């Protein structure tokens, strides 16, 4: 196949900023989103409509969504845990939703305060509302390799949850290395298992990069025809409920890796550099 096109899903404004110790201002978040859109990112997860009691960093989700720059070729998506989040996100102008659960029961409990099965139940009204508004829904599977509380997760658990999300109507399943310690071997085995049920065209990979193997893991996924990858500007990110997790693979790093290997992304490296420098300037060190 001569198709060398890869889609990058920029999660920096959400995954990147949710884990910052300081609270980034709404104006700075909007600036970051604008710079990313200007660099040619076509899918940006702009915020999360989650409980501010759980993630204070995303408490301004309504203002961010309402003011986020629009673009003809830009899809502005948001993370939602439940019906309440879905309704508010759509009212504020979200163009795509992303629901999130886990292949690990412990992580589901810590992150969303319910079981995996309960999370799937909660997504039923989310799917209904999205469909009524003509929005597509992505589904995340956290802990696709390891759980911060349980350790290694069996590939079968990842496949089972992925199938659950597909059966609900998610158009894309993002398998996530939440703590970023997956090796290429284990990523390959996990993907092989999931691919027995879900086609590569429906899969995305969301690699955190604690062990600095994310780009090798991207290559493993590319070999299996997966062509959608999440990344965050400047490599910011992590999950407040996943202790020890580093940021997502950096957008600049994955884009230059892909371009070097002859893949096209539609992203302008010069514009991206500006967005990444700005993202890094938002980090608070104290």
E strand residue ranges, 164-218: 172-177, 203-207
81 binds ligand HMG per the rule CB under 6 A: yes
Q: What value, to the nearest 5°, has the Cα angle with vertex 107 and ends 83 and 172?
A: 55
* 85 binds ligand HMG, rule: CB under 6 A: yes
110's tokens: 């810590």
The dihedral of CA 257, 262, 264, 270: what is its sign?
positive
Asked if 206 contacts 230 with a C-beta cutoff of 8 angstroms, the reply is: yes
By CB under 6 A, residue 18 contacts ligand HMG: yes
Closest distance between ligand HMG and the C-beta of residue 39, in Å?
A: 21
Answer for the pair 69, 33: CB distance below 8 angstroms, yes or no.
yes
Work out what residue 284 binds among ligand HMG, Mg ion, none; the CB cut-off runs from 5 to 8 Å by kind: none
Q: Give least dist CB 4 to ligand HMG, A.
A: 26
**Taking CB under 6 A as the rule, does residue 260 contact ligand HMG?**
no
| Catalytic pick among 143, 170, 205, 239 | 239
Please report whether residue 54 would count as binding ligand HMG according to CB under 6 A: yes
Our finding on whether 62 is near ligand HMG (CB under 6 A) is no
239 is catalytic: yes
Q: Name 248's bridge partners.
A: 208
* Binding of residue 53 to ligand HMG (CB under 6 A): yes
**Residue 220 tokens, joined:** 């493993």
CB of 59 to ligand HMG, least distance (A): 9
Which residue, 160 or 274, is less far from ligand HMG as judged by CB? Answer: 160
CA distances (Å), origin 18, targets 13, 137, 268: 8, 21, 26
If we measure between CA atoms, which residue out of 22, 65, 38 comes closest to residue 236? 22
- Give the residues lining the site for ligand HMG (CB under 6 A): 15, 18, 48-51, 53-55, 79, 81-82, 84-85, 100, 111-113, 140, 142, 176, 178, 206, 208, 239, 241
The residues annotated as belonging to the active site are: 239
């Amino acid at each position: 196949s001569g198709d060398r096109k890869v889609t990058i899903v920029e999660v920096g404004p959400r995954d990147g900023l949710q884990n910052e110790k300081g609270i980034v201002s709404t104006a700075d978040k909007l600036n970051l989103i604008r710079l990313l859109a200007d660099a040619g990112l076509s899918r940006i997860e702009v915020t999360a409509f989650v409980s501010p009691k759980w993630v204070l960093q995303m408490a301004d989700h309504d203002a961010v969504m309402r003011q986020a720059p629009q673009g003809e070729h830009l899809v502005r998506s948001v993370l939602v845990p439940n019906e309440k989040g879905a309704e508010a996100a759509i009212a504020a102008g979200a163009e795509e939703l992303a629901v999130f659960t886990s292949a690990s029961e412990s992580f589901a409990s810590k992150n969303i305060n319910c079981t995996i099965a309960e999370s799937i139940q909660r997504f039923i009204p989310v799917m209904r509302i999205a469909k009524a508004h003509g929005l597509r829904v992505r589904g995340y599977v956290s802990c696709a390799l390891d759980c911060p509380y349980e350790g290694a997760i069996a590939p079968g658990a990842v496949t089972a949850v992925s199938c659950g999300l597909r059966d609900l109507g998610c158009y894309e399943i993002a398998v996530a290395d939440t703590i970023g310690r997956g090796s290429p071997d284990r990523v390959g085995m996990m993907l092989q298992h999931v691919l027995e049920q879900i086609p590569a065209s429906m899969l995305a990979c969301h690699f955190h990069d604690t062990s600095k193997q994310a780009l090798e893991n991207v290559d493993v996924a590319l070999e299996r025809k997966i062509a959608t990858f999440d990344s965050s500007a400047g490599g910011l990110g992590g999950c407040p409920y996943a202790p020890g997790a580093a940021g997502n693979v950096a957008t600049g790093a994955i884009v230059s890796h892909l371009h070097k290997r002859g893949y096209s992304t539609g992203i302008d490296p010069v514009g991206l550099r500006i967005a990444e420098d700005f993202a890094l300037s938002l980090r608070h060190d104290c």
